[in-house]
Structure 1
Amino acid sequence: MSSSNSRLLNLTKKYPIFKKFYLFYNIYIRNYNFLYSGNQLGEEEELLSYFKKNYKGTYVDIGCFHPTKHSNTSKFYKRKWRGINIDLNPLTIDLFNFARPRDINICAAISDSAKSNDLYFIGDLSSENTLEKNHTKWLKKAFNYNQEKFFKKRIKTKKINDILEKYKFYDIDFMNIDVEGHEIKILKSLNLSKFNIKYFCVEIISQNYSKKHKNKILNYFKKNRYEIKFIDKIVGINYIFKKII
């Protein structure tokens, strides 16, 4: 987070009256370049091509981070789709409530069970906060972070099945999962016999723990009758899987 953004955030904590200005700044000023094309590697455009322009479907975004920046659901929202956005950062959900009031926006850490877990925390609006200790090793190597970069704290996790049942999201056009190395635990806990999900978009960083991490995810989708539809050509970490009918 930049120093100017940090100062604004500190002001909102001290003076709540600045909160709306901070949210506006973080969407329409600081991240203006992402208002019309926010996804990182072409995933959103690829997903959009699978549906007719006037179709209004449903999405679930786990690890949603920001309503426009690096978002695979921003254009879908503009097309009046309905979605559930979930992130463990309260500030992220404040941004979604500000920019996407028609969506269901939930502050929660998602895992394979409802219990207390260690969170390796970097910042209030960081896409790199993670429940996976092994993932911090990759972050340190990839971004030259030192141990002091991470603050460990306990956080209560929830199961995605419980959230989908609560809001009656049984037919989902696509589910986006980007949770910094914790993807397989969420996938394995998902009840696919109850929830019909046509497409998944999943970030798979194979450098996390070795190729085993990537293979577990690929084998999961193969076992559950999904085929690879798309792999981004720039970095090769974002995969789209289609349900085989």
Structure 2
Amino acid sequence: MAVKSYSQVGEDLQIAYFIGRGADVRYIDVGCLWPVQHSNSYYFYERGGSGLCIDPNPTVGDEYRETRPRDVFVNCGIGAEAGMMTYVMHENPVFNTFSTQRAAEVARKAEKRPGGRTMTGTVEVAIKPLAQVVAETGFAERVEGRVDFLSIDVEGFELDVIRGFDFGVLRPKLIVTEHLRGKADAVEDAEIVKVMAGHGYWVGGYTGHDLYFLDERA
């Protein structure tokens, strides 16, 4: 029987492979964007799960709260330290980014393949460490200290998210991060792999688009 994926490249089904398809999956979805389309967590929400969803796009909050009332939605950017950053917005929000390098790449590609890559403006967005958002929302208490997975899709700032997270408060069984690399780049040499190993996580899978880290203590 076919199973519907809502993610961009099937991440939700990969996550289900690692943690199962239970009715009470708890998650943190950083860079969640839309509540259903391209979502790494909606697959679990429609099966009874709930979690903390975070995105800096100022246009998605109302839709999120209406579509997924069991979730806690926070509109901000996530980084290693609190501050403000310029958020570059495009016709298709999947290209939105805090990275000036990524924004320049999108602009170059827009000349040949527009496809929603036209920039529509910029906005200053608050940046908070993930540990701060967890504390401010009381999320650790809401889930009684249990999180099944943490999804991070932040256009190159994945390490900053990890550095601002407190593994002593919550320890996800699985962490999935976007990881695009060149053909000559070995996964085991990636900085994020080394950082995650320091937190006790090993690479359980790599799809060419995402890395899947499993808690070696689980």
Q: CA deviation at 1:36?
A: 4.0
CA 63–241 in structure 1, closer or farther in 2 if over 3 Å, else same: same
Structure 2, unmatched stretches of 5+, are none
> In the TM superposition, what is the alpha-carbon distance from 1:141 to its structure 2 partner?
4.5
The structure with the largest helix share of the pair is 1
Q: Name structure 1 gaps, 5 residues minimum.
A: 1-34
TM-superposed CA distance for 1:126, in Å, is 0.3
Matched residue, 2:211? 239
SS at structure 1 position matched to 2:24 = coil
**Separation in structure 2 between the aligned mates of residue 211 and residue 148 of structure 1, nearest angstrom:** 33
Deviations 1:22-65 (A, max 9, x none): xxxxxxxxxxxxx9421122221121123344451210001101
1:131 aligns with 2:104: no
Give TM-score, length-normalised by structure 2. Answer: 0.82
**Cα 1:176/1:54, change in 2 over 3 Å:** closer
Kindly tell me: are residues 36 and 136 of structure 1, through their superposed partners in 2, closer, same or farther at Cα, counting changes over 3 Å? same
Aligned partner of 1:197 among 145, 150, 172? 172
- Residue 134 of structure 2 is matched in structure 1 by 164
Query: Among residues 44, 49, 59, which one is paired with 1:91 in the alignment?
Result: 59
CA contact (8 A) 2:21 2:44 kept: no
Kindly indicate whether the alpha-carbon contact (under 8 Å) linking 2:173 and 2:215 is maintained by their aligned counterparts in 1. yes
Q: Secondary structure at the match of 2:160?
A: helix
Q: Tell me which amino acid in the other structure corresponds to 2:130.
A: I
Give the structure 2 partner of residue 9 of structure 1.
none
Instruction: Name the stretch that deviates more: 104-113 or 50-59.
Output: 50-59
Q: Does 1:110 align with 2:74?
A: no
On the 8 A contact 2:5/2:13 being kept in 1, the answer is no
Task: Give the match's secondary structure for 1:66.
Answer: coil
Q: In the alignment, residue 59 of structure 2 is paired with which amino acid?
A: L
Q: Check 1:55–1:154 CA distance in 2 against 1; reply closer, same or farther (3 A cut).
A: closer
Aligned length: 204
* Aligned residue identity for 1:82: S
Larger gyration radius, structure 1 or structure 2: 1
Greater shift, 48-57 or 161-170, is seen at 48-57
Listed as ranges, the matches of 1:212-223 within 5 Å are 215-223=190-198
* Separation (CA, whole Å) in 1 of partners of 2:40 and 2:124: 29
- Asked if 2 retains the 8 angstrom alpha-carbon contact of 1:86 and 1:93, the reply is no
Between the aligned residues of both structures, percent identity stands at 22
By how many angstroms is 1:104 displaced?
0.8
Aligned ranges 1:18-97 → 2 under 5 Å? 36-97=4-65
Partner Cα separation in structure 2 for residue 38 and residue 240 of structure 1: 18
Change (3 A) 1:53 1:191: closer
Shift of 1:93: 2.0
Q: Distance in 1 between matches of 2:165 and 2:68?
A: 26
CA shift at 1:152, angstroms?
3.6
| Residue equivalent to 1:4 | none
Q: Compute the displacement of 1:176 (Å).
A: 0.5
Equivalents in 2 of 1:142, 1:128: separation in Å? 11
- Is residue 23–residue 44 contact of structure 2 (8 Å, CA) maintained in 1? no
